[in-house]
Amino acid sequence: MQQAENTQRPARLSVGVVGAGRVGSVLGAALERAGHRVVAASAVSEASRERAARRLPSARIAEPAEVVAESDLVLLTVPDDALEPLVGGLVETGADFTGTFLVHASGAHGFHALAPATSAGALPLALHPVMTFTGRDEDLDRLASCSFGVTAPDALRPIAEALVVEMGAEPVWIAEEHRTLYHTALTGGANHLVTLVAESASLLRAAGVEHPARMLGPLLGAALDNGLRLGMDGLSGPVLRGDTETVSAHIDELRRHSPESVPAYVALARLTADRALAAGLLKPHDAERLLDVLQA
């Protein structure tokens, strides 16, 4: 019903998308739901063109400089390392940025990554959606339950936060100087979690478990919930109990079945022991014995 109502309203901003991939196509569609209109998009790959046609049907496929020329707000949704070269290249083409909201969705960068275009008159905003994008249609609905890391010049902060609210998400202010730390935290939590889950599933298969996901789902769901609600007080397992022999046996077994994972297991177990000790959850003499084993 809400979407139907929004299509009756005149668009307030003409939106362009440079990089209509998984992220750009979703953010563009979210802005259209809010009453704006996506008028142009650049899309190189066949998959991006297909997404643009499906999610941004009102957008004309165009070159990046043309997208800028036609838009009041431009989404630059390209990989992190491509952002600054893209901005520099657009400035070199002589694209007119005067009064144009230039928005990137990179978690790794603040608004200073847009500096060349800002000097040319652009209004820079860094709006990073804190969620994973699968390329599936449910990505758009998931925006409503996620946060955005928002970084912008102080004068533009209300506009940046309003755009996020319009997309149905929660704006969270991240200072420019903390942007890398913010992104490090998110990457370590989300990306490394996937690797840990995949490794656990692989080891369970080696142990003869036919459906590892069924076994891991309840366990990992409870662990995630405990960690988010309780922090280190949600910890369980052999490190917390000071079970040195169990931890040693784990390392020996990993050396046989997954030797490449031993350094990661040891590093995480050591960090867990350090944090549990600092929180008063692990007794000092147990921590000492564990750390001796974790010299591997």
Domain boundaries, the chain: 2-174, 182-293
Percentage, residues of the chain above pLDDT 70? 96
Mean pLDDT of the 16-35 span? 94
Query: What is the tens place of the pLDDT at every residue in 100-134?
Result: 999 999 999 999 999 999 999 999 999 999 998 88
Tokens of 163: 């755009």
Is 5's pLDDT higher than 80?
Answer: no
pLDDT computed for residue 46 by the predictor: 87
51: phi then psi, degrees, rounded to nearest 5? -65, -45
Asked whether 35 and 6 are in contact (CB, 8 A), the reply is: yes
Asked whether 143 and 26 are in contact (CB, 8 A), the reply is: yes
Question: Which letter, b or e, does each residue of 3-41 get, where b requires 16 or more Cβ atoms within 10 Å of its Cβ?
Answer: eeeeeeeebebbbbbbbbbbbbbbbbbbbbbbbbbbbbb
Query: What is the tens place of the pLDDT at every residue in 259-273?
Result: 999 999 999 999 999
Question: Which letter, b or e, does each residue of 202-241 get, where b requires 16 or more Cβ atoms within 10 Å of its Cβ?
Answer: ebbeeeeeeebeeebeeeeeeeeeeeeeeebeebeebbbe
State the pLDDT confidence band at 296, using cuts at 50, 70 and 90: low
Query: What is the tens place of the pLDDT at every residue in 203-229?
Result: 999 999 999 999 999 999 999 999 999
State the pLDDT confidence band at 180, using cuts at 50, 70 and 90: very high
CATH numeric code, 2-174: 3.40.50.720
pLDDT computed for residue 9 by the predictor: 41
- Largest Cα span, the chain: 69
Is 11's pLDDT higher than 70?
Answer: no
Query: What is the tens place of the pLDDT at every residue in 138-161?
Result: 899 999 889 999 999 999 999 999
Pairwise CA distance, residues 294 & 296, whole Å: 5
Count Cβ atoms below 10 Å from residue 103 Cβ, excluding itself.
25
DSSP calls for 89-110: HHHHTT---TT-EEEE--SS--
CATH numeric code, 182-293: 1.10.1040
Pairwise CA distance, residues 8 & 33, whole Å: 11
Pairwise CA distance, residues 162 & 25, whole Å: 20
